[in-house]
Amino acid sequence: MVDKQYLLSDVTEQVIGCAMRVHSTLGNGFPEVIYQRTLALELEASSILFAREKVHPVFYRDVRIGSRIVDFLIQDNLLLELKATSELTDSHFAQIINYLTAFRLEVGLLINFGQKSLQYRRFIKTKS
């Protein structure tokens, strides 16, 4: 049995590496969409399969109640949410946790390009 702590760690490391290359080139201060477009180029160059701005259904008690747009869906099983803000807040963390639940995914990455140093945080969906 694979420890959830390490689930998709190889892919998350590759994605974080791509984000670091983007941030070291562009720095902070651009709108999120610029980082999103540039990260897509880096992911492609690294041969990482992804969908950008993918519409994904949201379920409640097995009933589809709407949809949300995911910044990136990596290899159909890693949710990637980008921010370009001066400070990550609890609402950013809640967003990715709720997305993991609604999208029925186990692993998510939150990456923030808005600081002098790239910020990232990995989230694991647990049963509790």
Enumerate domains of the chain plus CATH numbers. 4-124 (3.40.1350)
CB atoms within 10 A of CB 107: 20
pLDDT, tens digit, 9 for 90 and up, residues 8-56: 889 999 999 999 999 999 999 999 999 999 999 999 999 999 999 988 7
Parallel, antiparallel or unpaired: strands 63-74 and 50-60? antiparallel
pTM across the whole model: 0.88
Mean pLDDT, range 55-80, rounded to an integer: 88
Cα–Cα dist 100/77, whole Å? 10
Q: Is 115 in a helix, a strand, or coil? A: coil
